[in-house]
Chain A
């Protein structure tokens, strides 16, 4: 099967011919109502987060969660608090998160693209075995990997450094699986053969011909690793103990532990809630804008199996 991008384009074509009225008449009101009820389940928690971040701590306790208090609107105050609390450590956490995510995603995409292309378009001794090991490794529990990695990193002296987060994130078995499937489809063997007859070297063929054709797949792998690193809690939770190196997930969890532990009279609940909202925003926006890449990449990975 071809990648979904071309398939959906094919399917979109005949719908244009059907007149608009027929499309509208097909729509079902009961089904739409049922689906909007379901949508409420997914959106209401986030709506609560937005509304709660406009409240002071006393507002949180004394008003209904979904009522907006226009007279006691604390959003800007809360945002300022989030960015200034603890010498602006939240800003540090955001910068760390972006740095870890971009470095990991960039590196992982380079490795997965070259590797996926190699696995898809060349025959060499040990190829099947190597690929099988990589695919099976998807099943290795994170904890089984992270504890010994921590011990090895401790011996190398890179525990509690950015390297301890980025190095393990560079290897994405799912990414290379995805790129292999994608490369097998997107690059025609005859194209490579023609380039070879013209005397182009393998490296040049990869950079000048293959890479361009692989671009949509690369975007998908970048997105995947970016989100995986951005959302990662487990690895930094174990590897880091210096708060100035924390990503935003671990930092917020630490604030929450302080708030739940009831450490003094500090306004920390509103801090955690507003911080959570801010940490969600960049990825949510990126998701909505780049949604089509998810779909095409995911379908390439799942249609094939």
Chain B
């Protein structure tokens, strides 16, 4: 009897005696779990669930000049789908996403590999210098870069003038998106690099020893050991970058004060939602638009996860 039970049970043998003590003990421990998660979930319900539920509810209504607020069903959402300003904003963020995020992550991986290679002089100085911009609040970073780009006393323009060439107006319509992309890259390369570097540090030394025995050089070690180890972290940072990109608000909002003619009220979806809600007082429409934006984020993230995990399965 006992032996047949042992072979049937898949749990490790250590779990057996505990299980015999009966389900009551386990249930009591389970209830203690509620005690620990309840405070967080309570605040979570208040700060996340309640506002979202409220926004979902208001997005189904419309305020008319005459007649007050009336139920409108999905009409606001239909309008969002046909809203050219919203589409332009989403497309602008999509362009930002496919250029800025790969550049940022490739740089972060390259820097992490360089620092981890042990072939640098002053690796600690390099690591801290690249990470330092993350300590600068994005509002302050945007202010500072706004001055650096600026034509009045920005060093870029000054340098170009001294060399007798005309600097491009980095705050003009054509340059604004790359200029903002540069600010975001400057801020977040170091943050991503630290994540990758931490992963590289966690690779067990035995793997390197085995590679050395096989005669693998530093490049082969990087390609066959380090890059595969970085894959999960790369996926995670990419997801966070997708989420962050579509929510872009601070940098364009600050740039608006420097270049009001370039950054219009719907330059990014977040800026548009803000202006709809607080400038136009169109709260119902702003709520619907925010949800549409959330849907875009979920769809793009899901598409990324699908492609990313399928490729992993193949390799």
Interface residues of A (CB under 8 A from B): 1, 4, 7-8, 10-11, 14, 23, 26-29, 31-32, 34-36, 38-39, 41-43, 45-46, 48-49, 52, 60-61, 64-66, 110-112, 114-115, 117-119, 121-125, 127, 130, 134, 137-145, 147-152, 167-168, 170-171, 173, 176, 193, 196, 202-203, 206, 227, 230-234, 237-238, 248-250, 252-253, 256-257, 260-261, 269, 272-273, 276, 279-280, 283-284, 286-288, 291, 294-296, 298-299, 301-303, 305
Contact residue among A122, A148, A291, A305 (Cβ-Cβ distance under 8 Å from B52): A148
Complex contact B46–A167 (CB within 8 A): yes
Complex contact B30–A28 (CB within 8 A): no
Q: Determine which residue in A35, A140, A253, A295 has the highest number of CB atoms from chain B within 10 A of its CB, and name it.
A: A35
Interface residues of B (CB under 8 A from A): 18, 26, 29-37, 39-41, 43-44, 46-48, 50-52, 54-55, 58, 107, 111, 114-115, 117-122, 125-126, 128-140, 143-148, 152-155, 158-159, 162, 186, 189-190, 194-195, 197-199, 201-202, 204-205, 232-233, 235-237, 243, 246-247, 249-250, 253-254, 257-258, 269-270, 273-274, 277-278, 283, 286-287, 290-291, 293-294, 297-298, 301
In the complex, what residue of chain A is closest to B54 when comparing beta carbons? A148
Residues of A within 8 A of B249 (CB): 142-143, 233-234
Complex contact B137–A291 (CB within 8 A): no
Complex contact A295–B198 (CB within 8 A): yes
Contact residue among B131, B159, B189 (Cβ-Cβ distance under 8 Å from A287): B131
Shortest beta-carbon distance from A77 to chain B in Å: 18
Residues of B within 8 A of A233 (CB): 137-139, 249-250, 253
Residues of B within 8 A of A231 (CB): 137-139
A168 to B30, CA, bound (A): 28
Contact residue among B18, B115, B147, B186 (Cβ-Cβ distance under 8 Å from A273): B147
Complex contact B31–A134 (CB within 8 A): no
In the complex, what residue of chain A is closest to B48 when comparing beta carbons? A137
Complex contact B40–A295 (CB within 8 A): no
Which 7 pairs between the two chains have the least Cβ-Cβ distance?
A122-B33, A118-B36, A65-B155, A299-B198, A115-B40, A144-B290, A148-B55
Shortest beta-carbon distance from A73 to chain B in Å: 17
Contact residue among B54, B143, B158 (Cβ-Cβ distance under 8 Å from A151): B54
Known contacts A145-B52, A147-B283, A231-B138; A139/B197 CB under 8 A: no
Shortest beta-carbon distance from A164 to chain B in Å: 11
Residues of B within 8 A of A42 (CB): 129-130, 132-133, 186, 189-190
Shortest beta-carbon distance from A196 to chain B in Å: 8
A295 to B293, CA, bound (A): 32
Shortest beta-carbon distance from A114 to chain B in Å: 5
Shortest beta-carbon distance from B231 to chain A in Å: 10
Describe A's contact surface by its main secondary structure: helix
Complex contact A27–B119 (CB within 8 A): yes
Complex contact B114–A143 (CB within 8 A): no
**Interchain pairs with CB closer than 8 A, number:** 313
Complex contact A288–B120 (CB within 8 A): no
A274 to B269, CA, bound (A): 32
Complex contact A298–B140 (CB within 8 A): no
Complex contact A252–B140 (CB within 8 A): yes
Shortest beta-carbon distance from A265 to chain B in Å: 15
In the complex, what residue of chain B is closest to A66 when comparing beta carbons? B155
A140 to B290, CA, bound (A): 9
Complex contact B47–A168 (CB within 8 A): yes
Residues of B within 8 A of A167 (CB): 43, 46-47
In the complex, what residue of chain B is closest to A123 when comparing beta carbons? B30
Complex contact A256–B144 (CB within 8 A): no
Shortest beta-carbon distance from B195 to chain A in Å: 5
Complex contact A299–B201 (CB within 8 A): yes
A193 to B25, CA, bound (A): 12
Residues of B within 8 A of A276 (CB): 140, 143-144
A291 to B129, CA, bound (A): 12
Known contacts A38-B111, A64-B158, A148-B55; A302/B233 CB under 8 A: yes
Contact residue among B30, B135, B198, B243 (Cβ-Cβ distance under 8 Å from A227): B135
15 contacts between A and B (CB under 8 A): A31-B120, A42-B133, A45-B144, A45-B186, A48-B148, A124-B33, A141-B297, A147-B55, A147-B274, A151-B283, A152-B51, A231-B137, A253-B253, A296-B198, A302-B199
Residues of A within 8 A of B159 (CB): 64
A236 to B291, CA, bound (A): 22
Complex contact B120–A250 (CB within 8 A): no
Complex contact B277–A11 (CB within 8 A): no
Complex contact B294–A144 (CB within 8 A): yes
Residues of B within 8 A of A227 (CB): 134-135
A249 to B291, CA, bound (A): 27
A33 to B76, CA, bound (A): 56
A206 to B39, CA, bound (A): 15
Complex contact A114–B119 (CB within 8 A): no
Contact residue among A232, A280, A294, A305 (Cβ-Cβ distance under 8 Å from B236): A305
Other contacts beyond A7-B204, A118-B37, A287-B132: 9, CB < 8 A: A1-B202, A28-B119, A36-B126, A46-B132, A66-B155, A196-B29, A227-B135, A233-B249, A302-B236
Known contacts A42-B133, A43-B132, A273-B147; A203/B35 CB under 8 A: yes
A152 to B55, CA, bound (A): 10
In the complex, what residue of chain A is closest to B302 when comparing beta carbons? A139
